[in-house]
Structures are given as structure tokens and as C-alpha cells.
Amino acid sequence: MTKLVLSILLAFKRIPLLVQISDSLSIDKTIDSIFTPISNFATSIIFYPLFTIRGVEVPFILLWLITGAVFFTFYLNFINIRGFKTAIDIVKGKYTHEDDPGEVTHFQALATALSGTVGLGNIAGVAVAISMGGPGATFWMIIFGLFSMSSKFVECALGVKFRDEHADGTVSGGAMYYLRKGLAQKGMGRLGSFLASFFAIMAIGASFAGGNMFQINQAAEQIIGITGGQNTFIGEQTWVFGLIIAVLVGIVIIGGIQSIARVTEKIVPFMCGVYIIAAIAVIIANIGQVPEAFAKIVEGAVGGNALAGGLIGTLIAGMQRATFSNEAGVGSAAIAHSAVKTSEPVTEGFVASLEPFVDTVVVCTMTALVIVISGLYEGETDGISLTSDAFATVIGWFPYILAIAVLMFAFSTMISWSYYGVKAWTYIFGESPLSVVIYKVVFCAFIVVGASVSLEPVLGFGDGMLFAMSLPNILGCYILAPLVKKDMQSFLRRIKKGNIEVYK
């Protein structure tokens, strides 16, 4: 895969102008002009402000997510902290048997879900948050990341508990299933069916937007940056880049979850390792500035300018980008985790709780420190370019490494979200082979669209669809949380008594 990516990068530097299109008829500009109004409309609805504080609009949807994360943390007695070691043991296979129902291991499920979260949300999303809310946004990203571990715990435990297991060994799960089946058990069948359908429709939209278009958009920007800028062929015709990646994604997603899991379990650990090592190198090179960087983060979050009126804007920027990054409370990851091999549904709640920690607390913090240390966030650069320039202050050649990392992260995120989307699609339109093929073709087409449009409409549309998923998901999690708590207490009690068989 790495060799293939390198070949693509080299090809873009030598590609001849095979297509001559005037600016007035540019395919990129045409796609952008069509998509932008759609994005603006979706954003205005989803992020409609509940009220305004000191001139800053506060969307209801963010309060909805924050309240849910805090509630589940206290309701489950801080399982995000006290269950950390148990989660590591489960990932290592300590309480799982090979004959358990499901399609993938705990590690593969975690890697697949992480590939949908660890990526450009951490690299470009952190840069967007700091550009919007200053260094203090990082503080709120970390705080929300810790609380959101509990949201992930609940939704992914429910995803396994209410999944459908098919005769051929495959499974279908996620918020659609626990909303419909779980609420039916509570005598709320009509509400459950409505919420499940609403969630599935929003999940389809999110798979096309945040899980697809944003990824390819920022990958394309990084490729343009290292191959000569906007005046090159790929800078003027980014749809060509999108088309190439669409073909590669299509090849992988044909194989379904097992094919996706085999790819992500290799890509995610490797690229996370490369990225974190590079971030550590930059931090060590500027070790004397680290205390000052942390001081700026804390000061920007709770003191000085924040108390003077910037707190709400900073908090919103941090929370919004944290949610886009780790997707806790959204219900998306429950789709991937539902495929895990286990006879104890709550075990996947433990595993899933590790996602926000790795994604937001570790990787996002590393990115933020690099950006704050560089001081470049005070300029006009935004998104992936800001992160790339920040790394380049210490490692001049790192933009080329970042380009490969971005491509790999974007690729892994897209193939994971294609699985989320196809499960939501088949929930609405049926699981016939034709239905699946139609979705995958449309998904790949949106890769081309995402490469061609500007960042703002892509980010707005992606946020809109992703955050809308949390409306039915968190409501359902509130109603079904007692089931998760009962299973959690039973599991922990049996571990303590030694009544659960340990596999080594």
C-alpha cells in the first residue's frame, strides 16, 4: 500500500496536461458551486443556535452531546477510568474465545473503528479548532474526550447486544438495531422504528460527507501543497486525484468488513506510530517551550480572554472538533464494533471506550502541542496546511511524510465509513447485492466530489450529518442505559470472583 501511495505522489509531479479546461468551465469550480449551497442549508438546520452568550451562538446539538457524555460517566460510576485496564485485557483477547459469534477480533474491531476516527480529524480538525478557538480549544477537546469515553462504552455495548446474527456468520448491528429492537423491548416500538430510520438516513449522509469528502478534501490539499501548489495540473483538476483514490477505495470495500479489517489493522497502528513519533520529535526539539504551550492552552481555556467572553467560542470550537474526531455519542462506531467476536456484549463497550482516549486525549494533544509551539495558528493558514507547516518548522521534509500519512489515514477512514454507510443503507433499502453495489458506487462518486470542493462547505456538511446522528442515538442510549449498567456490573462481578474463563 505504501509503495502504491508513493507511486501516485511521483506520478502527480510528472503528469502531463491531458485535459484542458478553462477556468469558467472548471469541473472543480462547477462541483464546488453546486455543493456549497447544499452544505450551507444543512449546517443552518443542524447547528441552529439555542441561545447566544456574549455574541457567541450556542447550538443545541453540542449541549446534547456534552450532557450525554457527562451523564453516562456519572451513571456508570466513571467506567471510563476504572475500566481502562479491563479494556486493555479484552483487546489482548483475555476474555474472548475463537468460537464466539461474530466476524472480527476485538483488536480488529478497535482498529476498524479507530481508522474511522484517528486520522484527519486529529491532523486537520485540531488545526481548525485552534484556528477558530485559539489554543484553549485543545483543553476542551481533552476534557470532552475523557467524558466521551463513557458515551462510546454505552453505544458500542448496545451495538453488540442488539445485533442481528445471520446464518452465514455475518452480523448487522449499530444504533439502527438497538434503537428499533431495544426500544421495542421497552414498549416504545414506534418511537424506536422512527429513531432507527432517522439515524440510518443521517448515517448515510455522514458517510458521504465527514467519513468521505472531508478526508479526501484534506488529503488533496496536502498533495497539492507538496507537488507545486494550485497552479499545477492536480491543483487545478483535483477531481482526477479524487478519481484515483475512488478506484483504490472501491477495490478494498468490495470485500466487506473482513477485507476492511485486514487493511485497517495494518494501516492504523503503523501510521499512528509514524505520526506520534514525528510529533514527539518536534516536541523534544522544542522541549523548553512545552510548559509555555500548556500554559497557553490552559489560559486560553479558562483565564484571561476566555473569561472576558471567549470561553464559549473556545469551548464550542473544542467540543465540535472533538466530536468530529472521536464521534462519541454519534453512534457510528457501534456499527463496526457490532461485528466483533464475543458472547459478552459489554466487553466491546470496554474496548470502544479506548477510542476517544487514543484519538482525542493522545493524538489530538500531540498535534495541538506541535501547532501551539510553532505559533503559526495566529496566521491565515488553516486545516491540514497549518499542521503541515507546524511540523515543517522542525522537520523540513515532514510535509512529504505527512502527505503519505494523510493519504493512509484518509484511505482507512473512508473504507471504514463505507462499512458504516452500507449498513445504514441496507437497513433502509434492503441487503440485496444490487443495493450494496449502488451504495458503494455512490460512495466512491462522492470521493471525487470531496476532492473538488473547498474546505468550508465540506466541513459544514460533514458536521451537520454527523451531529444529527447523535439526536436519536443519545436519546436511545438514555433509555437503554440501565441494560448496559446491569451487564457491566455482572461482568465485573464475575471477573472479580474468577467466574469468567481466561484465554491466553
pLDDT band with cut points at 50, 70 and 90 for residue 356: confident
Helix axes 136-161, 365-374, angle to 10 degrees: 160
Could you name the CATH architecture of 2-497?
A: Up-down Bundle (1.20)
pLDDT band with cut points at 50, 70 and 90 for residue 113: low
**Beta bridge mates, 52:** 57
State the Cα–Cα distance between residues 139 and 365, nearest whole angstrom.
9
Cell of 163: 445485533
Mean pLDDT of the chain: 75
- For 354, other C-beta atoms within 10 Å of its C-beta total 22
The model's pLDDT over 439-458, given as tens digits with 9 standing for 90+, comes to 888 888 888 877 777 666 66
Rounded to 10 degrees, what is the CA torsion of 431, 435, 438, 439?
A: -30
pLDDT score recorded for residue 376: 73
Summarize the confidence of residues 372-377 as an average pLDDT.
77
Cell of 379: 496566521
pLDDT at 243 over 70: yes
Amino acid occupying residue 175: A
Cell of 90: 479484552
pLDDT at 66 over 50: yes
pLDDT score recorded for residue 410: 78
Phi and psi at 23, nearest 5°, equal -60, -35
pLDDT at 340 over 50: yes
pLDDT score recorded for residue 89: 84
Phi and psi at 204, nearest 5°, equal -60, -45
- For 36, other C-beta atoms within 10 Å of its C-beta total 17
pLDDT score recorded for residue 7: 47
pLDDT score recorded for residue 124: 66
Q: What is the 3-state secondary structure (H, E, C) of 454-465?
A: CHHHHHHHHHHH
State the Cα–Cα distance between residues 259 and 412, nearest whole angstrom.
12
The model's pLDDT over 307-324, given as tens digits with 9 standing for 90+, comes to 444 455 555 655 655 565
State the Cα–Cα distance between residues 201 and 134, nearest whole angstrom.
34
Q: Hey, which of 126-140, 160-174, 229-243, 414-428 has the most confident mean pLDDT?
A: 414-428
Domain boundaries, the chain: 2-497
For residue 165, what is the enclosing H or E element? strand 164-165
CA 457 to chain centre: 18
CA 104 to chain centre: 20
Beta carbons of 399 and 158 less than 8 angstroms apart: no
pLDDT score recorded for residue 8: 41
For residue 32, what is the enclosing H or E element? helix 27-46
State the Cα–Cα distance between residues 412 and 266, nearest whole angstrom.
10
Is the dihedral angle over the CA atoms 482, 486, 489, 495 positive or is it negative?
Answer: negative
Q: At a CB cut-off of 8 Å and minimum separation 6, what does 401 contact?
A: 274, 278, 395
Three-state DSSP class for residue 56: strand
pLDDT score recorded for residue 36: 65
- For 345, other C-beta atoms within 10 Å of its C-beta total 24
